[in-house]
Structure 1
Amino acid sequence: MKIAIYRNDNEHSINIAEALTSKILAVPDANIEFDQENPDIVISVGGDGTLLSAFHEYDAQLDSVRFIGVHTGHLGFYADWQDFELDELVDSLTHDSKEYVEYPILQADLYFSGSVKQTIYALNEVVIKRSFGTLSAEVLINDNYFERFKGDGLSIATPSGSTAYNKAIGGAVVSPNLDAMQLTEIGSINNRVFRTLGSPVILSDHDVVTIKSPDAMDSSVQIAFDTLHFVTKNLEKIDFKIAPTKIRFAKYRHMNFWHRIQTSFIGPEEK
């Protein structure tokens, strides 16, 4: 089995990654080797941002890679292991069952003038905003006109990403057992000209959401996805759908999604 360790530059994460490496190397006849280029398992050491970065580092290998999160950050929503549980993790690696849990991810196809196309993937969400001023956009669902939006921006989130920025802007929390995506408005303006639903919309893996920005040809548009961000011009439209590939987490003791929600946002009941 080939393993890659992906960490952030925090001193504590560096120390934990080094300790984990030493513990794996110390196991006799473990049949484990380190391979940062073509691993079977990627171990992310850090917080949720580190795991999101690891996802994008290996997003071309999702069919063959499983992820494990070791928590050294703050919330650690994607982490199944704490930094003091390295011995238990190494034991699980040496008795790998090859089982995994899958979460859906988002695919966004960006179309620019001149027939230029770019595809990006997101584990959490894609957010569209104007660099300056408000965003004006037409929203279509399955090529049918849905609404004309004007406001700060639009967010399209996965179920696992529904607990991140989507939750902060009033979106619903969605089980990752559903192959779904969620469209949520950010600071919408509603008047006689611009009318929107005003509520989050949850769509299936058979649906395609299209965002067309009539004024994008002459203005810059910000695209933020997970921990990444870029500003672009000449963007004609974006098609969003659930990607055919999913992210896989090693199922050694993968924490139940709703247990994650309870421990991350609610905490223990006061007695």
Structure 2
Amino acid sequence: MKIAVVMNDSPKSLKVGKELKQKLIQEDFEITKDRPNVVITVGGDGTLLNAFHTYVDQLDTVRFIGVHTGHLGFYTDWRDYEIDQLIKSLKEDTSKSVTYPLLEVELNYSDSEKSKKYLALNEATVKNLDKTMVAEVYIKNELFETFRGDGLSVSTPTGSTAYSKSLGGAVLHPRVNAIQLNEVASINNRVYRSLGSPMIIANDEWIHLDLKRGDSYQLHIDHFVMNQENLSSMTLKLSEKRIQFASYRHTHFWRRVNDAFIGE
């Protein structure tokens, strides 16, 4: 088995990552960043997001494992003091995995016929940098509303516990194969109206945003931020690809939610 170990730069994560590598080598695992079978992240959910985007072109062949060096995260099943149990599970590997939905984002530009595509594990958000954002919102090619406000955000089920939740979105179980559209500070008065509520979009539908031409936009794909000029439209839908997590021990989703937002 070829294993990549990815860690953040905190002293604790670096220490745990070094110890993990040493023990993996002692057990005859191959440590490599090139085409691994398993990617182990040491840190938090942000570290796993970084690793996801690093290996986004290898999702069909790589499984992820998260080791948390702080509190339990949504993508991390192991704690830093459980390294020995993790290595034992790797030695007894059965190649089973749990998969989560991903968001596909396609960008189109007024000055180019070429589109750009990205995958998001949590969400994609678009905002106008200079003024009120105006966008015609289509659901499966049918005009639903004209939005005016700060921006629009589309999340995956696992991303529903991140930025989407702060926007008032629902928390979706990862087995719900759907995406969620949230408005960011929408304008609702006698002249301008939008739904003003989160929308759950089925897996056979998609969202198309027709943006006002000539404006400057800021695009967030998970934790990456990109300024966009001449962006004319976006299409967002569930991807055919999914992220795979090694299922040696998988924490129940609602237990994660309770731990993060309710439990002590």
**TM bucket by the smaller chain?**
over 0.9
What per-residue deviation string (whole Å, max 9, x for no partner) do you get for residues 242-269 of structure 1? Answer: 000000000000111111111111115x
The equivalent residue for 1:229 is: 225
Counterpart secondary structure, 1:202: strand
Q: Indicate if the aligned counterparts of 1:48 and 1:75 stay in contact, CA closer than 8 A.
A: no
Gaps in structure 2 of 5+ consecutive residues: none
The equivalent residue for 1:241 is: 237
What per-residue deviation string (whole Å, max 9, x for no partner) do you get for residues 196-219 of structure 1? Answer: 1111000111111001112xx322
Q: Indicate if the aligned counterparts of 2:73 and 2:256 stay in contact, CA closer than 8 A.
A: no
Say what the alpha-carbon RMSD is for the aligned residues: 1.1
The equivalent residue for 1:262 is: 258
How far did 1:192 drift?
A: 2.9
How far did 1:193 drift?
A: 3.0
Gaps in structure 1 of 5+ consecutive residues: none
How far did 1:133 drift?
A: 2.0
Matches within 5 A, 1:111-126: 111-113=108-110, 114-126=112-124
Find the aligned partners of 1:75 and 1:202 in 2 and give their Cα distance.
27
Matches within 5 A, 1:37-116: 37-74=34-71, 76-113=73-110, 114-116=112-114
The equivalent residue for 2:6 is: 6
The equivalent residue for 2:178 is: 180
Find the aligned partners of 1:25 and 1:173 in 2 and give their Cα distance.
40
The equivalent residue for 2:187 is: 189
Counterpart secondary structure, 1:4: strand
Counterpart secondary structure, 1:91: helix
Q: Indicate if the aligned counterparts of 1:155 and 1:186 stay in contact, CA closer than 8 A.
A: yes
Q: Using structure 1 for the length normalisation, give the TM-score.
A: 0.95
Q: Using structure 2 for the length normalisation, give the TM-score.
A: 0.97
Find the aligned partners of 1:132 and 1:52 in 2 and give their Cα distance.
29
Find the aligned partners of 1:193 and 1:147 in 2 and give their Cα distance.
13
How far did 1:12 drift?
A: 1.1
- 1:183 maps to a residue whose letter is L
Find the aligned partners of 2:54 and 2:191 in 1 and give their Cα distance.
43
The equivalent residue for 1:131 is: 129
- 1:191 maps to a residue whose letter is N
Which of 163, 166, 180 is the aligned partner of 2:164?
A: 166
The equivalent residue for 2:142 is: 144
The equivalent residue for 2:198 is: 200
Percent sequence identity over aligned pairs = 46
